[in-house]
Amino acid sequence: MTMNLLRQIAGSRLPLTYYRTEDIDQVRILCAAGLVVAVVPSPSQSASGSRSAAQVLAITQKGREELAKLHGAGSRAPRWRFRMPRIKTAGWQQASRPGADSRKSAPMQ
């Protein structure tokens, strides 16, 4: 059950907040195992009945390794999180058209 939550966290945008007591307990277990970095209320605070939440900030390298063991190397977290944004500049457009400059200098016949 806890590993299912880790899989769910891996497929979501972070930070991720959980409010249910069961989910908070599972996040606490993942955090204690070193699989995630999270802000978790103390057990006495969540047992007192006050409204509390656990916030998952990141999955550790150990957590990613455990996910890879469970699901094999083929299934990984979404790659959108690891991509750098592509910024297109004026120089990029000219570089992408290799014959753009040669047409300007060649005389028309």
Over residues 5-36, the pLDDT tens digits come to: 999 999 999 899 999 999 999 999 999 999 99
pTM surpassing 0.85? no
Interacting residues of 76 by C-beta distance below 8 A, sequence separation 6+: 67, 68
Do 41 and 53 meet the contact criterion of CB atoms below 8 Å apart?
Answer: yes
Do 52 and 46 meet the contact criterion of CB atoms below 8 Å apart?
Answer: yes
Looking at the DSSP bridge assignments, the partners of residue 59 are 36
CA angle 24, 57, 51 (to 5 degrees): 35
> Order of strands across the sheet with 54-59?
16-18, 54-59, 36-39
**pLDDT (tens digit per residue) in 61-91:** 999 999 998 876 555 555 555 555 566 666 6
Q: How confident is the model at residue 1 (pLDDT cuts 50, 70, 90)?
A: confident
**pLDDT (tens digit per residue) in 35-55:** 999 999 887 765 666 678 999
